[in-house]
Amino acid sequence: MQIDLILVWPNNCDYPLWRQFIRDNRNRLNRVIIVFTEINEPPNFQEFVQKNMMEDNITFVTNRDHYADEDWRNVATNEALKYSDSEWVWFTEQDFIINDSNFWEVVQQLATVEKSIAVYQDTGAPSGFLQRIHPCCWFLHKTILSQIKKDFSAKPPEYDHFGCIQKQLHEKGILTAVIPQYTYLHLNGLSYNWRLVQNGQEPIDYRPEQFKLWLTECLKVRVPLNDSWKKTARKIAYEVVIADELDPI
């Protein structure tokens, strides 16, 4: 199963735990394609991320300028696809965490049955899809992508990002294999909570305690941490001992 990973990265955020995931799992993937999107809010972590992921052999792409009526994620995802040459594409997000060692084996097994493999999210969306395929983790075979319009836009209130893809698969009778929930954790609102913390506010939305745990785990990673990011994260994370701060014996 040859896989290209595609991920969109707002340049005012860093995700150390995800960077550590890539460092530890790089050999499982062919291309890792990261598209930076301009948020126009400080700070800008793009240069830091590119420098410190250099050894991970990442294909970095800066999202092209887009018109006001264009969906930023649709533009970014289509830009990334230009660099993909593997049979499978894994669309994912930084808040998707694999927490079971069987995850990859499960995905490999599902790939022998279906050419669309994803996680689902309960929703009451008017689209009629009681279960939304969530773009935090969606493996699609290139033969599927070649059959559909590559429209990853959100069109509220009908559907969110990637909803048009799900709709097209449904219309064509293409089934999607479901990744079992025990193999992963999906955190919502990392970027939004980070923005609140960056502005000196409490992360009051999107499971604040879970966000604090995520920050705590980020502070334990072995990949480099940005100094300003670390300073901000420590204001809200649970108490944690960082190895480089221990007194030498």
Using one digit for the tens of pLDDT, what is the confidence trace for 192-227? 888 888 877 776 667 788 888 999 999 999 999 999
Q: What is the pLDDT of residue 155?
A: 85
Q: End-to-end CA distance of the chain: give it in Å, rounded.
A: 47
**Domain with 197 in it:** 190-244
- Residue 134 shares a structural domain with residue 225: no
pTM of the model: 0.89
Number of H helices, E strands in the chain: 9, 9
Strand, helix or coil at 1?
coil
When divided into structural domains, the chain yields a total of 2
Nearest alpha carbon to residue 176 among 138, 127, 225: 138
User: In terms of domains, do 231 and 167 share one?
Assistant: no
Beta-bridged to residue 37, according to DSSP, are: 10
CA atoms of 35 and 79, how far apart (whole Å)? 8
**Same-domain status, 114 and 194:** no
Residue 249, domain member (yes or no): no
Chain segment 100-132, per-residue pLDDT in tens: 999 999 999 999 999 999 999 864 444 445 578
Instruction: Specify whether 96 is located in the same domain as 156.
Output: yes
Does residue 200 sit in the same domain as residue 161? no
Q: Are 186 and 132 in contact (CB under 8 A)?
A: no
Which of 68-72, 88-92, 99-103 has maximum average pLDDT? 88-92
Nearest CA to 212 out of 183, 246, 189 is that of: 189
Tokens of 241: 């001992």
Predicted pLDDT of residue 242: 46
Do 103 and 220 fall into the same domain? no
Last residue of some domain: 186, 201, 224? Answer: 186
- Are 32 and 3 in contact by the 8 Å Cβ rule? The answer is no
Let me know whether 67 and 101 are in one domain: yes
For residue 48, tell me if it sits in a domain.
yes
Domain boundary among 169, 186, 203: 186
Residues 65 and 181 both lie in one domain: yes
Q: Are 189 and 158 in contact, with CB atoms under 8 Å apart?
A: no
Same domain for 87 and 203?
no
